[in-house]
Amino acid sequence: MKNLNTSRSLGLRTLAVHGGQQPDSLTGAIATPITATSAFSYPDFDSGALRFSGEEPGYMYSRFANPTVSVFEQKMAALEGAETAVASASGMAAISATLFALLVPGDEIIHIGTLYGGTEGVVRNLLPRYGIKPVHVANVSELEAAFTKNTKVVLVETPANPGLDIADLAEIARLSKAAGAVSVADNTFATPYLTRPLALGIDIVLHSATKYISGHGDATGGVVAGSAALITPIRTLGLKQFGGNLSPFEASLLIRGLKTLPLRVEASSLSAQAVAEFLDGNSAVDTVFYPGLKQHPGHDTASKQMKLFGGIMAIELKGGLNAARTFLDKLSIITQAVSLGDTDSLACHPASTTHSAVAPEIRRQSGITDGLVRISIGIEDTDDLIADLQQALEGL
């Protein structure tokens, strides 16, 4: 990493550009080179043995570590204020490696509120196969009573996907520490530009880097950040044993995406606030789920732990499934797609896409109805997005 001036705390925009990287020592290239190799040579027999035993630093094999991937990891650690980070091939690889590294048969995991559909599948369906018990609580107020001697992990996603529920991270961290459990926060929606969970006491923060970190819809990845003591076993399991490593090509795209992360997230957040206020007054919309609206039940908590309120919202249409189908099919500028956090604005119907594999009764408990539409606001002109939404809502 560059010898950055550390006499003062650097801002997130500066860290996004400079954190974790330096000009290439061989060529002086400013952009991080893509180290496209599967294996790395070592100078002699003893050096190889020492590297593989962990007694000597050095690259060996790109599934274990790669210079391009390392820059991405260091940049993410800098942005999250973490000691270290490990990258993975996807957000689900990051979540799976984290949970399986922290939990063993007989352990319990408490998950709070609504989770992304893929995460729900791991927690509710996969972990029980290995003797790990999931315990669900609807909100933080129920957390303390749910702890047992077997609770080892508390998992939360805030803002939550897709209903934008907000959880008090500082309170989760406090209660988890008191119970001797590791707290894990999925920070995908907020990004480190809006919320830094580790600074609020959370132990581990993770992301689907496919979303805002990439920002351009052209790379898939995940990342987990925290203390070396917690991240090292996640690295060992996720990369050496599961083999879910990030490729250097994807890492290069994610490094590029991080450089503009603060600018993109701020632009989409400011635009989303205006869009949410417009939708809140539309006769076809029953409810707008956006923490930037004062009537949102998580508004006060979000105001404390978020710099802005993010670029994602959900709306409940009065006409249910048929209205959702008509609305989505009429959109012109906003694209129907299941991802989020792109420069392009995207919209989807969670019940039939991102959460379609979640049991219907769990979807209902989580507020994922047939009339719910999730919208990810990009960086287009706000007036153009509002006009597109207005014409799509006409006649519903």
Reported confidence tier of residue 260, pLDDT bands at 50, 70, 90: very high
The confidence score (pLDDT) of residue 4 equals 62
Residue 11 three-state SS:
coil
Task: Please check whether residues 201 and 104 belong to one and the same domain.
Answer: yes
CATH of the domain at 315: 3.90.1150.10
- Residues 6 or more apart whose Cβ sits within 8 Å of residue 66: 35, 37, 59, 245, 248, 251
Contacts of 300 (CB under 8 A, 6+ apart): none
Whether 382 and 315 map to the same domain: the answer is: yes
Domain assignment of residue 135, given as a range: 12-257
pLDDT, one tens digit per residue, over 1-24 is 455 655 578 999 999 999 998 898
Catalytic residues: 63, 116, 186, 211
pLDDT digits (tens, 9 = 90+) for 96-135: 999 999 999 999 999 999 999 899 999 999 999 999 999 9
Same domain, 284 and 199: no
Same domain for 124 and 84: yes
Q: What's the CA gap between 79 and 218, in Å, rounded?
A: 21
The residue with greater pLDDT, 52 or 154, is 154
pLDDT of residue 167: 98
Look up the pTM and report it: 0.94
Same domain assignment for residues 245 and 278: no
In terms of Cβ atoms closer than 10 Å to its own Cβ (0-12, 13-18, 19+), residue 151 is buried
354/235 same-domain check: no
**Would residue 22 count as lying in a domain?**
yes
pLDDT tens digit sequence for 328-382? 999 999 999 999 999 999 999 999 988 887 888 888 877 889 999 999 999 999 9
Q: How many domains in the chain? A: 2
